[in-house]
Amino acid sequence: MLKKIFAWASILLFSAFSLYPILYVISVSLRSDNAFQTQSLEIISASSNFKNFSSLFFETDFLLWLRNSLLISAVTTFAGVVLASTSAYALSRYRFRGRNTMLFSLLVSQMFPATMLMLPFYIILSKLHLIDSFLGLFVIYSSTALPFCIWQMKAYYDTIPRELEEAALLDGCSKWMIFTKIILPVSSPALVITALFSFMNSWSEYVIAAVVLQDPALYTLPLGLRSFQASLATQWGLYAAGALIVSVPALILFISISRYLVSGLTMGSVKG
């Protein structure tokens, strides 16, 4: 009994801990700018209203940013899943020259401070005339999440018994068919995670986008939100309302696939 009380108490405490900042953002998004500083802990007060949301949608380019972000994230998620699933399969099933070097460098690449890669990025992109185009972002976003995703996928593939493929090979399936018809369908938890990571990588990325995209018509959501945040006069209400809307798709995605996350993130390491 005591154990149960303790368990409930701690889970409620942590739920509050994880929820409160979100509630706070909601609260700020419902206040007018002048009431940003308040000493009450109320989430919704008498003066709360949806003005920030309506001006977000009707007076700013929010919908344009949303469209750009959705486009970029969709493409990079797709590219990320394709790249990670194919290359991880090769790394899991084949022993070829350079395999170990590849696996090792994937891991090591995570260890370099990412911000320092900005300058060379920029120089490459401007040489290739990819500034102010989504193409450059597609390449960067889908590749930067790759090391983690490839490791993740490889660990998962390693747990799939080889007998499955051998049987199919006897039946005359091509290698590509084995991969697409047999391996991919049973790897859905790992694929979902790869998709999630690629999505998050582009959905909330700000620093690279700020350098690559200069035309406001191409802005993504993080860039758009930042423009409410002038150096000396942030429009907190608008910012909070925007931040909330940016978080919603990610939240829905996370919550709806949390089941896959559990098996996908650990499957490889348990057995491998």
Partner 1 sequence: MRASALLLILFSSLLAHAKPVHINVWHQMIYGHRQVLAEALKKFEKENPDITVQATYRETEELRSSYQSAAMGGAGPELVYGPSDQIGPFATMGIIRPLDTVLEKADFSALDPLATPEFMNQHYMVGDGVGNHLMLIYNKKLIQTPPKNTDELIEMGRRLTIDQNGDGKVDQWGLVFNYTEPFFFAPFISAFGDDFIKNDSVPNLNTPALRSTFQFILDMRDKYKIIPKECDYETANALFKGNKAAMLINGDWSWGDYKEAKVDFGIARIPMISSTGRWPSPLVGTKGYSLNVNMKSPEHLAAAIKLLKFLTSESTQLLFAEKVGILPSNLNARNSEIVKNNPLLKISSSVMEVGHPMPIAPEIRAIWDSLRTQYQKVLAGSATPELAAKSAQEVAEKQIHEMNEVLEPTGGALVLKILFAIILICVAWLSRKSFAAFVNGFQGPQKFAYYMMLPAFLGIFAVIVYPFFYNIAISFSNFSLRTFQDWSIVGFQHYAEALTDPRFYSLFLKTVIWTVVNVVFHVSIGVFLAIIINQVMPAKGFWRALLIIPWAVPQYITALTWRALFNQEYGPINIFLQQFMHLSPVQWLSQPFTAFAACVITNVWLGFPFMMIVALGGLQSIPHSLYEAAVLDGANAWQRFRHITWPLLLPVMVPAALLGSIWTFNNLNVIWLVSNSGEPGDQTHILVSYVYKAAFNLYRYGYAAAVSVLIFLILVVWGLSSLKAQYRKETQ
Considering only residues 1, 3, 163, 170, which one is a binding residue for partner 1 as defined by CB under 8 A? 3
Q: Rounded to an integer, what distance in angstroms lies between the CA atom of residue 80 and that of residue 146?
A: 7
Considering only residues 30, 137, 150, 241, which one is a binding residue for partner 1 as defined by CB under 8 A? 150
Provide the minimum distance between the beta carbon of 16 and partner 1 in the complex, in angstroms, as a whole number: 10
- 3-state SS of the chain: helix, strand, coil percent to 5? 75, 0, 25
Q: Rounded to an integer, what distance in angstroms lies between the CA atom of residue 139 and that of residue 80?
A: 9
Considering only residues 70, 102, 168, 186, which one is a binding residue for partner 1 as defined by CB under 8 A? 102
Q: Rounded to an integer, what distance in angstroms lies between the CA atom of residue 209 and that of residue 227?
A: 13
Among 136, 137, 187, 140, which residue's Cα sits nearest to residue 164?
187
Taking the least distance from each CB to partner 1, the nearer of 134 and 148 is 148
Q: Which residue has the tokens 């991880």?
A: 88
Provide the minimum distance between the beta carbon of 58 and partner 1 in the complex, in angstroms, as a whole number: 16
Provide the minimum distance between the beta carbon of 63 and partner 1 in the complex, in angstroms, as a whole number: 18
Using CB under 8 A as the binding rule, the residues of this chain from 153 to 192 that contact partner 1 are: 175-176, 179
Using CB under 8 A as the binding rule, the residues of this chain from 234 to 253 that contact partner 1 are: 234-236, 243, 246-247, 250-251, 253
Q: Rounded to an integer, what distance in angstroms lies between the CA atom of residue 104 and that of residue 44?
A: 52
Q: How far is CA 242 from CA 29, 40, 151, in A?
A: 8, 23, 34
Provide the minimum distance between the beta carbon of 272 and partner 1 in the complex, in angstroms, as a whole number: 9
Size of the site for partner 1 (CB under 8 A): 116
Helix axes 146-158, 188-203, angle to 10 degrees: 170
Considering only residues 117, 168, 173, 186, which one is a binding residue for partner 1 as defined by CB under 8 A? 117
Considering only residues 46, 98, 170, 172, which one is a binding residue for partner 1 as defined by CB under 8 A? 98
User: How many residues are there in the chain?
Assistant: 272
* Beta-bridge mates of residue 234: 229
Considering only residues 110, 135, 166, 167, which one is a binding residue for partner 1 as defined by CB under 8 A? 110
Considering only residues 64, 70, 103, 131, which one is a binding residue for partner 1 as defined by CB under 8 A? 131
In 10 A of CB 248, how many CB atoms? Answer: 10
Our finding on whether 229 is near partner 1 (CB under 8 A) is yes
Provide the minimum distance between the beta carbon of 266 and partner 1 in the complex, in angstroms, as a whole number: 3
Considering only residues 48, 55, 133, 143, which one is a binding residue for partner 1 as defined by CB under 8 A? 143
> Which tokens sit at 266?
């650990």
What is the DSSP secondary structure assignment for residue 181, as one 8-state letter? I
Q: Rounded to an integer, what distance in angstroms lies between the CA atom of residue 77 and that of residue 250?
A: 13
Q: Which residue has the tokens 């509630």?
A: 23
Residue 40 backbone zone (phi > 0: left; psi -120 to 50: alpha; other: beta): beta
Provide the minimum distance between the beta carbon of 122 and partner 1 in the complex, in angstroms, as a whole number: 5
Our finding on whether 4 is near partner 1 (CB under 8 A) is yes
Q: Is 222 within 8 Å of 206 (Cβ atoms)?
A: yes
Considering only residues 68, 144, 187, 194, which one is a binding residue for partner 1 as defined by CB under 8 A? 144
Considering only residues 55, 133, 188, 226, which one is a binding residue for partner 1 as defined by CB under 8 A? 226
Using CB under 8 A as the binding rule, the residues of this chain from 8 to 67 that contact partner 1 are: 8, 10-11, 14-15, 17-22, 24-25, 28, 33-41
